[in-house]
Amino acid sequence: MSKQTLIQRHTASERLNHWMVAITFILAGLSGLGFFHPLFFWLTSLFGGGTWARILHPFFGAAMSFFFLIWVARVWKDNRITAVDWQWGKHMGEILRNRTENLPPLGKYNLGQKLLTRTLLLSVLLLLVSGILIWQPWFAPEFSVNLRRNAVVVHAFSAFVALTCFIVHVYAAYWTRGSIRAMTRGTVTAAWARHHCAAWYKEMVEKKQ
């Protein structure tokens, strides 16, 4: 197979799902930051002011959770952590120096991506549950003041973790040259696949044959 041969990595529906997660995450993040600290309150003007930002934020969050859980269900089969992944993780120093000659062949996703998915899944679930507990005026009145106070802390901490993961994900996609086209066009080159996901590349070649 030629190095420039294109291999489908994500279908159109998978890419749409991914971008719906990204868009709703950004909307939820921007509207939520306005209430996290007075320094960011100006962000609420993007949504028509504080009142509208407060009304829209939980709907953005619920939509993001919905699309993200669908995404996890789609990719979970390829996100199972194996012994090969842990072996790959032991070479992190070499990976950061772009020395990949001695790395074990990986499947569709590497250990970093799999751990990031799990961290985001936990964060999103905590955001969803804590968000429901403090969602005014629909659900919050049904819970005690102490429970809601604790939920606010959990919500803020989970949002911080999720935002950190988001930044890491964007940086890693930019740093790994050729990755972004997988989510814009759905394909990667054979050379990219062989270099980053040798086991997955071999599987794709066998399927094509």
Give the pLDDT of residue 167: 96
CA separation for the pair 209, 199 (Å, rounded) = 16
The answer to whether 164 touches 29, Cβ cutoff 8 Å, is no
| pLDDT at site 208 | 76
- Rounded Cα distance, 55 and 42, in Å: 16
Full set of structural domains in the chain with CATH? 6-208 (1.20.950.20)
Paired strand residues for 6: 189
Q: pTM for the whole thing?
A: 0.91
Classify 8 as helix, strand or coil.
strand
Catalytic choice (18, 91, 169, 195): 169
Among left, alpha and beta (phi > 0; psi -120 to 50; other), residue 103 is: beta
**For residue 115, what are the contacts with CB-CB under 8 A and spacing of at least 6?**
81
Angstrom distances, CA of residue 89 to CA of 85, 111, 112, 168, 185? 6, 7, 8, 17, 29
Q: Decide if 196 is catalytic.
A: no
For residues 193 and 203, is the Cβ–Cβ distance under 8 A? no
Measured over the CA atoms of residue 194, residue 196, residue 199 and residue 203, the dihedral's sign is: negative
Rounded Cα distance between 44 and 128, Å, is: 21
Mean pLDDT for each consecutive 10-residue tract of the chain (209 residues)?
82 97 97 92 96 97 98 96 92 76 88 96 98 95 96 97 96 90 95 92 85
Other CB atoms within a 10 A radius of the CB of residue 122 amount to 13
Q: Enter the DSSP assignment of 39.
A: G
Taking the C-alpha atoms of residue 132 and residue 152, their distance in angstroms, rounded to an integer, is 10
